[in-house]
Structure 1
Amino acid sequence: MKIYEALKWASSLLEEAQRDQNAGELLLRHHANMSRTKLLADLRSDLDESVLQAFQKDVKEHISGVPVQHLTGYEEFYGRTFLVNKEVLIPRPETEELIVGILERAAALFSEKPVSAADIGTGSGAIAITLMLEKKNWKVSAVDIAESSLKVAEENAEKLGATVNFMHGDLLEPLKEAGTTVNIIVSNPPYIPDEEVDTLSPTVKDHEPRRALAGGRDGLDFYRRLAKDIPFVLAEGPFLIGFEIGAGQGEAVKAIMEQAFPGKTVEVVFDINGKDRFVYTTSR
């Protein structure tokens, strides 16, 4: 079978199953070890039989609900490749915008001074590792409640050459216990209301850890807990707090932060798709 025929076959099955048709190209590039440019240039080339069989197997696996990233074992994030598995949330494109927002605000607050940052609920380590690699003079810590998630994050840090202080524990407790203070707190915590988790796509609810999804009755439990404890781990001087939130939660999370940090600047920022997606709190 030729490459274009394999892609057409996959596209038809994926469309019928109401899956993302782009998954076919991603899986074929993975199994053929081809860049997108090479794949498009070789559309009329024959596929090796072993590659074709592996590709067809994974297309059917994805149709059954397995995320593409679990089939390939990785996801691209901020120009880098991160290992992922069932123990971590798959990094989303929206979270790249959180990185941009943190870096822009940090530049205004701290200029090029070395600062310390902590990523709470690090999962794959995508946020913490990216911040460390983008700002080599920062000191970055990362916390997760699951040792299995930290194992993935540590592997990513080693593979990408990032020095991150990984800490095991519940939200800010490891920082408090260690007496660690930071200038920047960033988090993409679980924010989906508990009763809505089971309504998510099977690729999410059946394959990504529930602990990274469910945020309590209204989805805001973790923001309340973080807001309560963050003052105990902030260093003296300017500070920056950045949260990713669920669409529609902007005003509620803003109110939580305004109550916890009276007189400070709290802003709701919309993502590229026009949805309220981030809340930033700064000391000025």
Structure 2
Amino acid sequence: MELVILSGKGGTGKTTIATALSELAKDVVRIDCDVDAPNLYLFYKGVDIEKKDFYGGKKAVINEHYCNRCGKCEITCKFNAIKDYVVDGFLCEGCGTCTLICPEKAIKLVEDKSAETFITSTNKGIISRAQMNIGSDGSGKLVTFLRNNGKKFNAKDTLTIIDASPGIGCPVISSVTGSDAVLLVTEPTKSGLEDLKRVTALCMSFELFIMICINKYDINYNITVEIEKFVAEKELELVGKIPYDDTVIKSINELKSIIYYENSEACRSVKEMWVNIKKHIY
């Protein structure tokens, strides 16, 4: 069973909830597919037992010994990645047009390292994660690799919780493809509602079972009602409503899951939500 934690926008509390559900599930494989801003591992003390270089694409390289400085590559490049016969790796998209236009065949595409991937072993299980290089783009290929890498450690077919990127882009699509269920975390703001509609449409196109969590539902009751109407209209499952709680900020600062703050309203609400989620995924 793969449960993907998603949000239409950043800052809704997606990782906070992913961490809490992972703790409540106990026997779980954690995969941090929010490759542009991975932070799930910060909540755990562990040791990296596997580290690999990930090559997500290619970049052009000019061999100065063969280059006749005709300038055709610089004129042809639509990304302005070539200047004074040198390729800017941050601007190069690896399209290969320059390799075709070069009369001396002085340009070739080489594999470009975009990230390092890790399997981190903790006392709560493993985390499959990545650290991207500066300037690299989050790719669906990297997300797919992380998911497959995590599956190697799921011999008992236990629950896998995926902390996905916010939005509806390529990394999100790669996170939900072939998964069993998604939990969409939203907040009662105008942008939160509109982004929820977009990510819901994406998940519906993949025919996924969709559950909804309204985080900080009490900061704007009017929009919370709008979200509830949308959920009912689309026949989705509203599994949890979590109130605003300053203790969540404390838990993040202390790098501890909110479920360990027993007097917290958010703690109680998350635990109630987990009971509701289990009814649907087990």
User: Does the alignment reach a TM-score above 0.5?
Assistant: no
TM-score (norm. length: structure 1): 0.35
Q: As a proportion of its length, which structure holds more strand?
A: 2
